[in-house]
């Protein structure tokens, strides 16, 4: 094949090879700098679309995790107050029950016992009123308090349909005091006062008053059972929130790993490829230089 001044086939071939190597080198350098082999839709449309959707899901899961934290703090506040209202031998309903039993003793000064009872009644109401977190109080409610609260607990998406899971809390199950006096501790019986307002200061040793005391004791015992049941229920909600919180965090890590498998670059492979392409680029430059020298060789024929 003859030589031509107008068409240097060797140089064209070398240039095409050099362009191809340079393009691959640019791709590899981009993967190394970004750490991703699929950073735009043009890299791999299917994987990029999946990764984008999963990142969106992870953002939603992050919001669920934050919501779970807020819900857990609210539930913990209400749970702490409930258990404090139940109390022990020195406080709360437990102490109130003991004082009423003590009041059945013949000849005892019930006025002094009532002084302790009054302090316990005020203390329990104070604890219920103080059980407020982020403006929410389930123990001391008003007419404007929502009857139910939905605590966001999960997020999932099947196809294009998202599903938000929640734990429903019914306020009436935990309400100790209400503005309408319909709570566990401020609801009066048909013939007896509420636990919040009962008083024994005027009671005597008479059979009728002893019967009244028996009724008060039974009423407080029922109150203890009701508050304990509410605390147990809220404790179960608290445990469920803790479990969901851990699951959401684990799920977010799993989604991150899945996205990484789709779009992350293998840095070991990319670094090896970079060195090979840099070598090929150097050789391409030399090949192009040699091919360009062919034209100089043709000129020497005319000297």
pTM of the shown model: 0.78
Average pLDDT score over residue span 28-43: 83
* CATH 1.20.1330.10-classified regions of the chain: 45-261
Give burial (CB, 10 Å; 0-12/13-18/19+) of 33: exposed
Q: What's the pLDDT at 37?
A: 84
Asked if the model's pLDDT at residue 113 lies above 80, the reply is: yes
Cα separation, 282 vs 33, in Å, equals 22
Cα separation, 236 vs 219, in Å, equals 26
Note whether 68 and 246 are within 8 A (CB).
no
Cα separation, 80 vs 179, in Å, equals 22
pLDDT in tens, 132-172: 999 999 999 999 999 999 999 998 888 888 899 999 999 99
Name the average pLDDT for the chain.
89
Please name the fold of domain 45-261.
f41 fragment of flagellin, N-terminal domain (1.20.1330)
| Alpha-carbon distances of 136 from 64, 78, 187, 231, 277, rounded to whole Å | 19, 9, 22, 17, 63
- Between 90 and 191, where is the model more confident? 90
Asked if the model's pLDDT at residue 295 lies above 70, the reply is: no
Q: What's the pLDDT at 5?
A: 55
Highest mean pLDDT among 4-8, 22-26, 54-58, 80-84: 80-84
- Which of 9, 19, 8, 6 is CA-nearest to residue 281? 19
Residue 202: count other Cβ atoms within 10 Å of its Cβ. Answer: 9
Cα separation, 260 vs 183, in Å, equals 53
How many Å is the maximal CA-CA distance in the chain? 144
**pLDDT above 90 coverage of the chain, percent:** 65
Structure tokens given for 255: 């989604």
**pLDDT above 70 coverage of the chain, percent:** 94
Q: Which helix (H) or strand (E) holds 182?
A: none
């Amino acid at each position: 094949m003859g030589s031509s001044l107008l068409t240097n086939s060797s140089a064209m071939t070398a240039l095409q090879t050099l362009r191809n190597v340079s393009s691959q080198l640019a791709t590899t350098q981009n993967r190394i700098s970004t750490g991703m082999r699929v950073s735009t839709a043009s890299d791999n449309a299917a994987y990029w679309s999946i990764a984008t959707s999963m990142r969106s899901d992870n953002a939603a899961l992050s919001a669920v995790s934050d919501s779970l934290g807020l819900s857990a703090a609210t539930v913990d506040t209400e749970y702490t107050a409930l258990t404090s209202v139940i109390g022990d031998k020195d406080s709360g309903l437990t102490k109130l029950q003991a004082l009423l039993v003590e009041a059945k003793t013949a000849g005892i000064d019930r006025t002094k016992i009532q002084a302790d009872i009054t302090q316990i009644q005020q203390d329990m109401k104070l604890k219920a009123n103080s059980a407020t977190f982020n403006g929410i109080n389930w123990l001391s409610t008003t007419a404007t308090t929502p009857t139910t609260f939905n605590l966001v607990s999960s997020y999932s998406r099947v196809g294009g349909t998202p599903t938000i899971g929640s734990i429903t809390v019914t306020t009436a199950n935990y309400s100790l005091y209400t503005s309408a006096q319909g709570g566990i501790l401020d609801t009066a019986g048909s013939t007896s006062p509420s636990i919040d307002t009962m008083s024994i200061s005027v009671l005597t040793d008479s059979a009728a008053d002893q019967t009244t005391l028996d009724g008060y004791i039974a009423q407080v015992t029922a109150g203890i059972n009701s508050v304990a049941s509410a605390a147990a229920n809220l404790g179960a909600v608290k445990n469920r929130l803790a479990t969901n919180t851990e699951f959401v965090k684990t799920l977010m890590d799993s989604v991150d790993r899945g996205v990484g498998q789709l779009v992350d670059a293998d840095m070991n492979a990319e670094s090896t490829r970079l060195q090979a392409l840099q070598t090929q680029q150097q050789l391409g430059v030399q090949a192009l230089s040699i091919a360009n020298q062919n034209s100089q060789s043709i000129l020497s024929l005319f000297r």
